[in-house]
Structure 1
Amino acid sequence: MKPLSLVRTHKQRYILALGLAVLLALMWWLNTSRVESAKLPDFKIIRDIPELKTRFFGFLEPLAKAANQAVLDDRDWLLQLKAELDKGKQPGWIKQRSLNHIADRYGLDDKESAPSELVKQLLLRVDTIPISLILVQAAAESGWGRSRFARQGNNLFGEWCYTKGCGLVPKNRPVGATHEVRAFNRPYDSVTSYLHTLNTHPAYKMLRQKRQALRKADRAVTGFALADTLIFYSERRQAYVNEIKTMLRQYNQLMDK
């Protein structure tokens, strides 16, 4: 029989460890909640351009990291499931249901496929976007957070929608056109929608394939490496890609200082 004092010591350590874990979880939740609920600052009042860029990137980077982390959580789960499947272990109904749920969220309808095939298809889509590319495209599309669509609709990436009332009507919208610039409740929602678009829309299949090829070759997935795959993001096509590349170079120089 263990001495009573030893039992108490173990119990105290367990309670202390449990309390610390709860505290850390609470701190993480509060920080994540703070980031996700952040409001867009008034960037129009900043006249100094270097300060504007620094402030804009400083505001957006935590949102980009949080959005990427949400994707990474899904990806880690899929990789764990893949490891089990590679060993011949089939998922139970709970894991199969979770797999189908992820497939729904990432736009895959073929849930009748074998779990291994579904995981393979999902890993092409469920992946992060380089922080540099998120920040630079947001800067380009929102005019450094100063556009009407950013200020009034929290739209940082120029995303369109096609249901009446879903967003803000562009002032120069052609006669007969029905698109609006989508409105979001929070800037964070705009970031998550942007990631989802790049990870699911047919126009960015080349981006997903390039990203996967880089990972398989054990090469860095950088914003510059993916920039050429954004040829369909803007009607300006190659001119837009060239602009993004220029801004990426400037961003990298700024981060190196």
Structure 2
Amino acid sequence: MSGSHETPDYRSTWLGLGTALVLALLIAAWLLASTRQPAPWEGAVDLRPLPSLPAAELADHLEEQGYTWPPEGEVPAVAVQTMPTDMAGLDGDERKSLFFRIILPLAVAENRRIEAQRAFIKAALPGSSRPEPETAEAARVRELAHRYNIDPDLPAGKLRQRLLHRADTLPPALILVQAANESGWGTSRFTQQANNLFGVWTYNPEEGIRPTRAGAGTTHSVRLYQNLQHSMSGYIHNVNAGHAYAELRELRARRRAEGDPVTAHALAAGLERYSARGEEYVAELRDMLENNDLTDMGLRRVALVDGQ
């Protein structure tokens, strides 16, 4: 054993600890930002959070506010935070009714948020001009471009076109049946444990839970969400920005340009790549639309009202 002894360099130690702390804070901030719901835009609807309740108690609470299924014009602007853990205990009709009532306000509110984005894009990029650099409006345009994976330095006209192509709404009826299909009407493990309504994946193991039947050699997890509203926002953004759903966006843009209604039945064709079942999956969604009497235009007229 050596008899030599070095005096500890406490300044270096503290600098090292300080650097590690800063790095940890930066990582934490990045993780928080990656799971945070997008910031609200002007015109967005603020939903009142509802705490977790047993299924029957939640159904009674909604009925007390006059919110039944199918809705009659107005639904309360409420956000159920987590799916009731006893959804599987309800009979089929009761489970469907409660599930749709949980999901519809989330879908309508997210569509309203996107409509506000579209209004901003049209105002900020009216033609070949763009906002003055270094303004809040210009920063907002760049933020949207980055969010939708678009080059923010494109010519103004092209940037406007591509933003409006991606920042667009989805038919509520399509959202409802896909949520029901992917979550097993709110009973799946991923919905119950991860607030994941749509089976969205992540390849970061710290942001998800592994499927129990994941194949050998696979590395994906099912993404964890803070609440059901975050899951809704993440799903619609995935459809609007993910490369796998370019066909759906083309269908939507073409129908808009030709003056045809953007229906759930039509857009379902763009979801072949959402499932390994492809065309069979699309047919199943369309069957669900028909079997559950989900009319596109009726749900589009739904208004969110503040309730207590």
TM-score calculated relative to the size of structure 1: 0.81
C-alpha distance in structure 1 between counterparts of 2:86 and 2:266, whole Å: 29
Q: 2:183: which partner in 1?
A: 142
Q: Is the 8 A contact 2:124 2:141 kept in 1?
A: no
Q: Please say which of residues 144-153 and 69-78 is displaced more in the overlay.
A: 69-78
C-alpha distance in structure 1 between counterparts of 2:90 and 2:148, whole Å: 40
C-alpha distance in structure 1 between counterparts of 2:158 and 2:88, whole Å: 52
The CA deviation at 1:243 is: 0.6
Q: Is the 8 A contact 1:161 1:181 kept in 2?
A: yes
C-alpha distance in structure 2 between counterparts of 1:242 and 1:39, whole Å: 29
- The counterpart of 2:233, out of the listed 192, 197, 201, is 192
C-alpha distance in structure 1 between counterparts of 2:115 and 2:177, whole Å: 21
Q: Please say which of residues 185-194 and 39-48 is displaced more in the overlay.
A: 39-48
Q: Is the 8 A contact 1:145 1:151 kept in 2?
A: yes
**Number of positions where the alignment pairs a residue of Structure 1 with one of Structure 2:** 225
Q: 1:38: which partner in 2?
A: 81
Q: 1:102: which partner in 2?
A: 144
Q: Please say which of residues 41-50 and 219-228 is displaced more in the overlay.
A: 41-50
C-alpha distance in structure 2 between counterparts of 1:57 and 1:195, whole Å: 17
The CA deviation at 1:44 is: 2.6
Q: 1:92: which partner in 2?
A: 132
Q: 1:63: which partner in 2?
A: 106
C-alpha distance in structure 1 between counterparts of 2:98 and 2:49, whole Å: 21
> Structure 2: which amino acid aligns with 1:101?
E
> Structure 1: which amino acid aligns with 2:159?
L
* CA RMSD in angstroms, aligned pairs only: 2.1
C-alpha distance in structure 2 between counterparts of 1:90 and 1:161, whole Å: 35
Q: 2:4: which partner in 1?
A: none
Secondary structure of residue in 1 paired with 2:222? strand
Identical counterparts, % of pairs? 35
- The counterpart of 2:91, out of the listed 37, 43, 48, is 48
Q: 1:75: which partner in 2?
A: 118
Q: 1:14: which partner in 2?
A: none
Gaps in structure 1 of 5+ consecutive residues: 1-24
| 122 and 89 in structure 1: CA distance in 2 versus 1, 3 angstrom threshold | closer
Matched, 1:171 2:212: yes
| 49 and 202 in structure 1: CA distance in 2 versus 1, 3 angstrom threshold | same
Secondary structure of residue in 2 paired with 1:171? coil
CA offsets per residue over residues 175-233 of structure 1, 9 Å max, x none? 22111111111011111010001001111001001101111111111111101111100
| 39 and 235 in structure 1: CA distance in 2 versus 1, 3 angstrom threshold | same
C-alpha distance in structure 1 between counterparts of 2:202 and 2:261, whole Å: 33
Q: Is the helix fraction higher in 1 or 2?
A: 1
| 209 and 253 in structure 1: CA distance in 2 versus 1, 3 angstrom threshold | closer
Q: Please say which of residues 41-50 and 237-246 is displaced more in the overlay.
A: 41-50
C-alpha distance in structure 2 between counterparts of 1:218 and 1:190, whole Å: 31
Q: 1:131: which partner in 2?
A: 172
C-alpha distance in structure 2 between counterparts of 1:234 and 1:211, whole Å: 20
> Structure 1: which amino acid aligns with 2:98?
R
CA offsets per residue over residues 44-76 of structure 1, 9 Å max, x none? 344321111111001110011111111111011
C-alpha distance in structure 1 between counterparts of 2:228 and 2:140, whole Å: 28
- The counterpart of 2:196, out of the listed 131, 155, 164, is 155
Secondary structure of residue in 2 paired with 1:231? helix
- The counterpart of 1:206, out of the listed 247, 253, 269, is 247
